Chains A and B, each alone.
Chain A
């Protein structure tokens, strides 16, 4: 096992101010084990009293080698890796991946599968924002938020379990559609959620939106203007709270998002509180999308019939020897993909999640690269925390909603 190295200040001299070298300001470690860093992030802080002079994020404590691992697997099998990437958003990661594969091999997706994908991805967005809201509450000592948010999240996880058998790592979307059709209870469960959740959002808002203690900790902190946000590649609610109307679901619709009528909440304040408000409004917009998708959920197959890429259904395997062989070959050898490179992007709860996939003619990808939103969003943190108190750093860090699995991958 490698040992923790004792480093001298010479190694990061260029990152801190001159005053740190004379001992006028203090260097302080925050993390990697810290309740408010939302994972294993280490922040090296340079402090003047309680004021943050410099903040240097040190990432890589959760580096998992996901990209490299995916390159060692066939296209079907690499998908399980994507769930574990941004673990607040497994459905969304799956979607980005299967869309890339579908683009690479030119595979069709039936309309029912597209609509199901939208419903589940939006539910996932709500679940992710709920975890965010709960942990922001914890960070700012509003403990009950955590309990409320996780109560609603369980309901969404129950729906996921209903369709896929797993609570979190579902791998439910497959190239060419979804794993299998949803059970009959699905619609009822989603409708139930649609019915109770608006009231719950109101409840959260009563607890937080006008709460003076909450406002004190949120208003006017961590100001991020649109130009800076764009230059750092910030996306998602963090960008939209800074006044840039950019949402891939509207700007580059995928999976049939163009059929649904919804708004993209945009605020111009660019502070921590605006980011909170954007996410609260996104709850309601997601509900709208789910409701529309559910109302016009078409009937029909949920997986493409293209047998070159999609294994034959179980019912055929029992009666046809060819199907059995075909199934076996697809799962052991995989399908070849052309020598080309594709890029597919979706709007994850944190921003633009994109995947670059390069085929080499064989059954395994030559290169997989991920553009993860948290990574870019984190890069702007040192810029926006300067001059704030350490205690406010916690709120600002929470407001950009990072997931370490997403950053380090």
Chain B
């Protein structure tokens, strides 16, 4: 099933550097081990036996932001947590991506009140929103795959502009 089988004896593959780099980024994306609320439990479930995110190169959850390139905001972000979240985001090395998991992280969910940010995009830029309260693990996996599609289409030029 590997690349050898598909290519046979050809021996040489030509592609662009961009494609190779993006492909490898999608296959070893390290999410940050960072749970906020209920959604984090479903994130754990997505990591566990039945759903097994390691199929997508994501079994390594790093507890340190400096070692991770994907932030999954799993849960509601309170006014007290917002600055901390931003600091964690700033500490992640570039290029970095953010998935807003669940209704709370996407838009505030059922908590339209004084304590909760109405969407984590008020604090950090978000690449993919996953709906649900909480989203099923399948939904999270779908969100991750959607992010992969996005990463595969990224251009170095844009990244250079984005991160300077």
A60 to B81, CA, bound (A): 8
A284 to B90, CA, bound (A): 47
> Is B83 interfacial (CB-CB < 8 Å)?
yes
Known A1-B122, A63-B115, A65-B116; contact A168-B36, beta-carbon cutoff 8 A:
no
Chain B interface residue bracket vs A: 35 or more
> Once the chains bind, are A1 and B38 in contact (CB under 8 Å)?
no
> Is B56 interfacial (CB-CB < 8 Å)?
no
> Once the chains bind, are A84 and B87 in contact (CB under 8 Å)?
no
> Is A146 interfacial (CB-CB < 8 Å)?
yes
Interfacial residues of chain B within 91-119, with CB under 8 A of chain A in the complex: 110-116
Binds B, one of A150-158, A311-319, A371-379: A150-158
A168 to B75, CA, bound (A): 14
CB distance from A234 to the nearest CB of B (A): 24
Which single member of A40, A134, A154 contacts B81 (CB below 8 Å)? Answer: A40
Known A33-B34, A62-B36, A65-B114; contact A87-B84, beta-carbon cutoff 8 A:
no
Which chain A residue lies CB-closest to B84? A32
Which single member of B40, B79, B83 contacts A4 (CB below 8 Å)? Answer: B83
> Is B45 interfacial (CB-CB < 8 Å)?
yes
Known A1-B86, A68-B113, A150-B50; contact A62-B45, beta-carbon cutoff 8 A:
no
Chain B residues with CB below 8 A from A147, complex form: 48-49
> Once the chains bind, are A64 and B45 in contact (CB under 8 Å)?
no
> Once the chains bind, are A169 and B38 in contact (CB under 8 Å)?
yes
> Once the chains bind, are B44 and A169 in contact (CB under 8 Å)?
no
CB distance from A370 to the nearest CB of B (A): 15
Which single member of B80, B84, B112, B134 contacts A33 (CB below 8 Å)? Answer: B84
> Is B128 interfacial (CB-CB < 8 Å)?
no
Known A4-B83, A33-B84, A65-B116; contact A39-B78, beta-carbon cutoff 8 A:
no
Known A32-B81, A61-B84, A151-B48; contact A39-B42, beta-carbon cutoff 8 A:
no
Which chain A residue lies CB-closest to B63? A35
Interface mask (B111-133 → A, CB under 8 Å = 1, otherwise 0) = 11111100000110000000001
> Once the chains bind, are B78 and A63 in contact (CB under 8 Å)?
yes
A405 to B136, CA, bound (A): 19
> Once the chains bind, are A80 and B110 in contact (CB under 8 Å)?
yes
Chain B residues with CB below 8 A from A405, complex form: 37-38
> Once the chains bind, are A167 and B84 in contact (CB under 8 Å)?
no
> Is A274 interfacial (CB-CB < 8 Å)?
no
CB distance from B61 to the nearest CB of A (A): 8
> Is B41 interfacial (CB-CB < 8 Å)?
yes
> Is A228 interfacial (CB-CB < 8 Å)?
no
Which single member of A64, A68, A135, A150 contacts B49 (CB below 8 Å)? Answer: A150
Known A65-B111, A154-B50; contact A168-B79, beta-carbon cutoff 8 A:
no
A63 to B37, CA, bound (A): 10
> Is B88 interfacial (CB-CB < 8 Å)?
yes
Which single member of B34, B63, B134 contacts A168 (CB below 8 Å)? Answer: B134
> Once the chains bind, are B50 and A151 in contact (CB under 8 Å)?
yes
A146 to B59, CA, bound (A): 13
> Is A91 interfacial (CB-CB < 8 Å)?
no
Chain B residues with CB below 8 A from A146, complex form: 44, 48
A210 to B79, CA, bound (A): 45
CB distance from B111 to the nearest CB of A (A): 6
Interfacial residues of chain B within 49-93, with CB under 8 A of chain A in the complex: 49-50, 63, 65, 75-76, 78-84, 86-88
Listed by A's residue number, 28 A-B pairs whose Cβ atoms lie within 8 Å are A1-B86, A2-B79, A32-B81, A34-B63, A39-B40, A40-B36, A40-B84, A61-B78, A61-B84, A62-B81, A63-B115, A64-B76, A64-B113, A64-B116, A68-B114, A69-B113, A81-B110, A84-B111, A87-B41, A134-B48, A146-B44, A147-B49, A150-B50, A151-B50, A154-B50, A167-B134, A168-B134, A408-B78
Given contacts A1-B83, A84-B37, A169-B38, 18 further A-B contacts (CB under 8 A): A4-B87, A33-B63, A33-B65, A39-B35, A64-B78, A64-B116, A68-B113, A87-B38, A134-B48, A150-B48, A151-B50, A167-B42, A167-B134, A167-B136, A169-B133, A169-B134, A405-B37, A405-B38
A-B pairs, top 3 by smallest CB distance, nearest first, are A150-B48, A87-B38, A65-B115
A contact residues vs B (CB 8 Å cutoff) = 1-4, 32-35, 39-40, 60-66, 68-69, 80-81, 84, 87-88, 131, 134-135, 146-148, 150-151, 153-154, 157, 167-169, 404-405, 408
